Amino acid sequence: MKVYTVGTSSAVPTSERGLAANLIDFNGERLLFDCGEGTQRTLMKEKLGIMKISRVFISHWHADHFSGLLGLIQTLELEGREKPLYIYGPPRTEEFTERILDTGYFNRSYDIFAEDLVEGEEVIGEDYQVIPFEVEHGINAFGYVFQENDNVKANKDKMKELGLGESPKIGELKEGKTVEWNGNKIEPEQVVETVPGRKVVYSGDTSKCQNLIEHAEHSDLLIHEATCLHEMISDRRGHTSALQAGEIASEASVAKLALTHFSRRYRGKEEELLEEAKSIFEDTELGQDGKMFDLSPHRPE
């Protein structure tokens, strides 16, 4: 499972950073979270396979979070896409998607389905769910939880203790069956454990709020906006400072924080944002356009 910060500027792109977009590559399926201006170019530059994008999740309908959507839709048509594309977001997503599709002249070789979501509604994929939750941004706006399904896995240390090694009986144990090995009966619970799936949370645009902290709890990766330094946050209603992003990561006990959505006033000075967040939460990294975060599967303890 790989996660990419695709576009990391806020409001206005820069020569180094496009507007808001993030991609999760899970078992070969690509899920796009926001699609700001410049998204296609970064996806192409990093060879991230735009034709494999199956679902697009819009956090809210401010232009810097959807301005790349029309171009993406048209490119998929020009490349001969046949599979449907699904677009999800807060209330009015169906309406705004229809407006985009009515813009300009172009044929469509594939179906596009748009859906308005409500908080807590699950979008079910193969071995995962995406769950929207409300954030505080002054308009209808979501953050998203990507949650991998729990997995049944064999504990290698327990296998070794029981002399199972790489026994073909492991498959039967995972199916809940009792097996015989070297004259002994082995029950599934002696070897097999249910391991929580990986969890990624994307904040979208928001001021610091409890609902985000609760939904981000114990995530493997939190992708969070850091629009400005804390000294400027009173002028950025509906947004979060780098310091607050660090507080959220700490309060939610996440494993790693990736900062994104930087105001252009910090162009070339993004390290100041990083330092501010790390003063609260050490395991913080700056998002870059095309930067990859590789999340390894969870293993039995």
Known catalytic residues are 64
Q: What is the DSSP letter of 74?
A: H
Place of tokens 């006990």: 253
**In the chain, helix, strand, coil percent, each to 5?**
25, 30, 45
The two three-digit tokens of residue 223, written as one number = 């992708």
Q: State the CB neighbour count (10 A cutoff) for residue 153.
A: 17
Residue pair 80/59 in contact (Cβ under 8 Å)? The answer is no
The one-letter amino acid at 234:
S
What Rg value do the Cα atoms of the chain yield, rounded? 21
Place of tokens 């998607």: 97
157: buried, middle or exposed (CB in 10 Å: 19+, 13-18, 0-12)?
exposed
